[in-house]
Structure 1
Amino acid sequence: MSRTAEEIGRTELGPRPLPPLGEYRAATDLSYVDTVLDNGLRVVAVRQSTVPMVEVRLRVPFAGAEPRHAATAEVLSATLLTGTATRDRVGVDTELALVGGELGASVDPEVLSVGGNALADGLDTLLGVLADALTGAVHRDDEVAGERARLIERISIAGSQPSVIARKALQKHRYGDHPFTREMPEAEDVAQVGAEDVRALHRAAVLPRGSVLVLVGDVEPGTAVAAARAAFAGWTAEASAAVLPPLPELTPGDLLLVDRPGAVQSQFRLSAQSIVRTDPRYPALQLANLAFGGMFSSRLVENIREDKGYTYHARSYSEFTPDGATLLIDTDTASDVTGGALREIRAELARMVATPPDAAELETVREYAIGTLLIATSSQGGLASQIAALAMLGLGVEYLLGQPGRLKAVTVAEVAAAAAEFFAPGRFTGVIVGDAAKLGSLRELGGVTFP
């Protein structure tokens, strides 16, 4: 016979006591070098010798204002590692396999990303293959044609997904036609991309100056930097990699209802202006957000998932944008409870302001924040990805090492101030995507613009 979690957690003498949480211990064996090479490439090399591997993360600012830039960039990322003048696709894969390695590329409106790993003693090979792709990728006609066809098929499938429709609607509502909104190219634009378009974009935009290379693994930082310097000596350019122009600040206002006839669910995507990681208020905001909707036992989840049963999934989180940040709330609900879900979301926002986390709630989210950070950075891959994300914001290893201390120092009063400043319901705007014919109850709540 099965027992509930409450029954398992109790004894004849009462609830089982939880073991005390361990003290956070800083990584004492973490040595690193953070430098800029002569070609303008920033290299961050960190020794973490948990396994005899090395992780690589390359981030190249890759913004473009031209309407078809997103389409060309997607094809470029898909064919970047398919061959150079000296290695074909099989040659690239074989050389990496001989050192237990792999590389993959992707792109978004901000950056071209390349990531992978190899055995630590294969670092020179890993960097050599990467450097060859950056300086000598040929983007062969047949490779471009094949990846273009696959990309068009993926776009066609993704374009019908409710989450994709909601994200596109939110981006347009927030930022209009800013290049940051072009997270997925249009299929018709991809169909027009030719191999020469891809090669031209590569020559013009795959540049070292302003880019970041992160190396984490069982290798001395100085040795890793020397290997990068040798590998990328031929990757040069006078120009800098292109960054996105700043985004306009969000204007609070009504939610926009985006009609999706026949939909059985409604997608909520709410957003408000926030602050960057270097703002002294950010640690308090991070903890306030965890209490509101940033973890499974948060207030929002307890209300609209556990208590009301309106949704299976709900969350709030920070999104860091060019020169700024936003706070987002998203959830999906059945059409017939859309009005109730909106009412409860607004109520939870108001409750965050009126009744901010007390000392006990603060300690819970603080331990969660520090614990998840430790987990995220415990592996070489996790640490490399964390550092790469911070590096694109102008930060480094020292910021990551100092974050637990900043979280520990946050007071109840600081969290209350962050809750009052950033969670007021009137600060938000956003979209609800659903069948407008089924959502008449939203008119009674107000603050929703119908199509």
Structure 2
Amino acid sequence: MINRQLAPEFRAIDNISLIRPEHQQLGNGANVFSFNSGDQELVRIEWIFGNLSFDPAKPLLNMAVNSMLTDGTTTLTAAQIADKIDFYGAFLQVDYGYENSQVTLYSLNKHLQHTLPVIADILQNSIFPEKELETFKRNQQQKLQVSLQKNDVVARRTFNRAVYGTTIFGYASEMADYQTLQHDDMLAHYKKMYQPSNCTIVVAGKVEPQTLTLLAETFEKNWTNTAVPAITNQPDINAAADLFYFTEKPEALQSAIRIGTPIINRSHADFQSLQVLNTVFGGYFGSRLMANIREDKGYTYGIGSGLASFKQVGSFFIATEVGADVCKLAVTEIEKEINILKTELVPEEELSLVRNYMLGSLLGSLENVFSHADKFKTIYFAGLDYDYYDRYTATVKNITSDKLIQLANTYFHFDQFYKVIVGKY
């Protein structure tokens, strides 16, 4: 019997073990990575495609094509696709990201023979019906209209455009852009992007030999590459020259603040150390930004900082919404906390807490085999290997306050940060 009057024994995390995938390549060029673990007769299968090169003249194609994959094929309507998936207790979703788009299926193993052909049909025979396309345009315009009333959304869009320029990372859709979507353009984009040579398939769950055999039979024989390869290289990123952006909203009760800068990405040797510095500064609920601007000053319900990492670039950002009357004061306090990081060593007690938090978060995030597959995707699409996580744990456990103050002085220059305010200032 557990004595619940005693706190659990504290144990340091020595190492973290990750499940590594089995790999095979189908004859058509699609790569399959499988993670076999667990007793439940369930698998998650992801078909991940690199987005085609961003075209400013037709900026919505990557997003729109992915979003409408399930809206009809040459043999099935959108309703029939949904009915087939629901009938077998499966779940299907499509997701768009800046660099990759994907189709995800959760299915019981015993029903894969029925659910996989639906996915094959979607990836080979989608037609983007005109009626559904018009509905998609109208719905997206309505959502955009609502979103643009939110200060934090406007701030994020402005910040991304400043940091990432006129690229897929900095693009922010406008109402008129949806009228550029044409059926023929979407179909041509679809045929280039959704082909096996541009596809990575990640399978996680109870992956038995017959699972992989069925997957190969369904997605190898009849799925062929087109004569036009998928070009997924993105244009160079040129950040804006202006550093300050203010969108005034005289009636605003709150002002949205977004501050940050382009920075190193995950492949840089300093990135993992910078993650520790970011956690100290604003990366968790006990961070300095939260302690100062939420707990001490009461300017906001929440504030945080983060690191974004893409193949070409990374960024560091601080985001919050504060009372409109204290916006300038909040920005001053943010700068103050930046300067403290650059001039004062992080106390060992605080650093120890952050170390435990970060290692505990990593360990806690590995709750099932799907989480292990997600960790693999993070490094695979960044061109890294599993040594990344070994270096991460070693860095978190051994980093010093001297290293953190050095990093702060190298990467954090508040006068060179982009600053976006939406509301009152």
Give your verdict on TM over 0.5.
yes
- Of residues 34-43 and 111-120 in structure 1, the stretch that sits farther from structure 2 once superposed is 34-43
Residue equivalent to 2:193:
205
Residue equivalent to 1:26:
16
The answer to whether the 8 A contact 1:45-1:224 is kept is no
Instruction: Letter of the 1:88 partner, please give it.
Output: T
Distance 2:280 2:176 in 1: 43
CA shift, 1:388, in A, is 2.8
1:154 matched to 2:154: no
Residue equivalent to 2:217:
230
1:178 matched to 2:167: yes
3-state SS of the aligned residue for 1:180?
coil
CA shift, 1:349, in A, is 0.3
Counterpart of 2:232 (choices 237, 242, 258) is 242
Give the ranges of 4+ consecutive aligned residues of structure 1 lying more than 6 Å apart after TM superposition. none
1:284 matched to 2:284: no
- 1:406-446 Cα offsets, whole Å, 9 max, x none, are 433434433333233223424422312223xxx3xxxxxxx
Distance 1:389 1:69 in 2: 28
1:76 matched to 2:69: no
Instruction: After TM superposition, list the pairs within 5 Å mapping 1:49-64 onto structure 2.
Output: 49=38, 51-64=40-53
- 1:150-199 Cα offsets, whole Å, 9 max, x none, are 2222122112221211112112222332332224x322221343333322
- 1:117-161 Cα offsets, whole Å, 9 max, x none, are 112344454443222211111222222222222222212211222
Residue equivalent to 1:191:
179
Identity in percent: 23
1:364 matched to 2:353: yes
Distance 1:39 1:406 in 2: 40
The alpha-carbon distance between structure 1 residues 114 and 133, as it changes in their structure 2 partners (threshold 3 A), is same
CA shift, 1:216, in A, is 1.3
Residue equivalent to 1:141:
130
Instruction: Letter of the 1:231 partner, please give it.
Output: T
Counterpart of 1:343 (choices 318, 332, 341) is 332
- Of residues 350-359 and 374-383 in structure 1, the stretch that sits farther from structure 2 once superposed is 374-383
The answer to whether the 8 A contact 1:50-1:380 is kept is no
1:215 matched to 2:203: yes
Distance 1:294 1:223 in 2: 43
The alpha-carbon distance between structure 1 residues 196 and 254, as it changes in their structure 2 partners (threshold 3 A), is closer
1:433 matched to 2:422: yes
CA shift, 1:402, in A, is 6.0
Instruction: Letter of the 1:339 partner, please give it.
Output: K
3-state SS of the aligned residue for 2:276?
helix
The answer to whether the 8 A contact 1:134-1:235 is kept is no
Instruction: After TM superposition, list the pairs within 5 Å mapping 1:45-124 onto structure 2.
Output: 45-49=34-38, 51-124=40-113
TM-score in terms of structure 2 length: 0.88
Distance 2:190 2:350 in 1: 50
Instruction: Letter of the 1:274 partner, please give it.
Output: I
The alpha-carbon distance between structure 1 residues 245 and 126, as it changes in their structure 2 partners (threshold 3 A), is farther
3-state SS of the aligned residue for 1:181?
coil
The alpha-carbon distance between structure 1 residues 277 and 179, as it changes in their structure 2 partners (threshold 3 A), is closer
The alpha-carbon distance between structure 1 residues 102 and 189, as it changes in their structure 2 partners (threshold 3 A), is same
TM-score in terms of structure 1 length: 0.83
Distance 1:320 1:359 in 2: 28
The alpha-carbon distance between structure 1 residues 51 and 246, as it changes in their structure 2 partners (threshold 3 A), is farther
1:295 matched to 2:284: yes
Residue equivalent to 2:121:
132
Ranges in structure 2 where 5+ consecutive residues have no aligned partner: none
Distance 2:268 2:142 in 1: 42
Ranges in structure 1 where 5+ consecutive residues have no aligned partner: 1-10, 440-451
Instruction: Letter of the 1:360 partner, please give it.
Output: E
Instruction: Letter of the 1:232 partner, please give it.
Output: F
Distance 1:211 1:157 in 2: 34
The answer to whether the 8 A contact 1:212-1:388 is kept is no
Instruction: After TM superposition, list the pairs within 5 Å mapping 1:323-402 onto structure 2.
Output: 323-396=312-385, 399-400=388-389
- 1:266-307 Cα offsets, whole Å, 9 max, x none, are 211111232222322222111111000000000111001100
